[in-house]
Amino acid sequence: YLSVAQHLKKKVYVDSRRLRILKALGWPKERMNIFTTKKEEACLWIVPLGKVNFKDMPDFLEQANNSKAGKALTAKYERVVGFRPTGWTFSAKDKKQTLLPCGQPKPGRHLISSKTNGKYSVHGVPYSEHSSFPELVDCVHCLKPRKIVTTVSVSKSEEQIEMLLNAANALD
């Protein structure tokens, strides 16, 4: 959403909890200035993943059009488009999905699922919470966490953490 906001030169609405998290990243003021906690100041909204669905989208459209900024517009918002970054975007059972290649290095492996219901569209974008070892090393090197908790192969956790820390320290 950062690239979209920068390209369109638009603000991004986030709730106060998410704004606190973003502030903790220590980003420069220029980047942080694109965020607002006032829905009426933004046409791009970051909402909880569970709200990106056809049931909640009419509420977003109504809120946008009834806000002070929405009322000041000559033309009202007509559509809501949602993006769901998730590893659970594709289901072979769902025959109504339109599958599009994502343009990733491994063609056919990454898919975007798209569903439309009238004025509302939801695009599921593949995303994984799983990281490769080099990605974890880079993360530990940059963030320098005080504590690491493993959630996979817990029986080998001490050995895994030691390997990770050794690799991250080697980058210094």
Residue 97, pLDDT above cutoff 70:
no
Q: How many CB atoms within 10 Å of residue 28? A: 7
Average pLDDT in the 124-149 region? Answer: 79
Q: Is residue 160 part of a domain?
A: yes
Q: Is residue 146 part of a domain?
A: yes
Instruction: Give pairs for 94-103: CB < 8 Å, separation 24+.
Output: 102/126
Residue 62 scores a pLDDT above 50: yes
Q: Is residue 148 one of the residues assigned to a domain?
A: yes
Confidence of residue 98 (pLDDT cuts 50, 70, 90): very low
The dihedral through the CA atoms of 88, 121, 5, 34 has a sign that is: negative
Q: Is 50 exceeded by the pLDDT of residue 99?
A: no
The pLDDT value given to residue 164: 82
Give the chain's domain count: 1
Q: How confident is the prediction for the chain on average, in pLDDT?
A: 80
Is residue 42 a part of any domain in this protein?
A: no
The answer to whether position 112 is within a domain reads no
Nearest to 39 by CA among 75, 63, 19: 63
List the strands of the sheet with 80-85, edge to edge.
Answer: 80-85, 120-125, 111-117, 98-101
138-144 long-range contacts, CB within 8 A, separation 24+: 138/168, 138/171, 140/164, 140/165, 140/168, 141/168, 141/171, 141/172
Q: Which residue would you say has higher pLDDT here, 129 or 109?
A: 129
Instruction: Tell me whether residue 147 is in a domain.
Output: yes
Predicted pLDDT of residue 131: 73
Rounded alpha-carbon distances, angstroms, from residue 86 to 73, 111, 112, 144: 33, 11, 10, 27
Higher pLDDT, 169 or 36: 36
* Domain limits for position 159: 133-170
- How much is the pLDDT for 36? 96
Whether 81 is covered by a domain: the verdict is no
140, part of any domain: yes
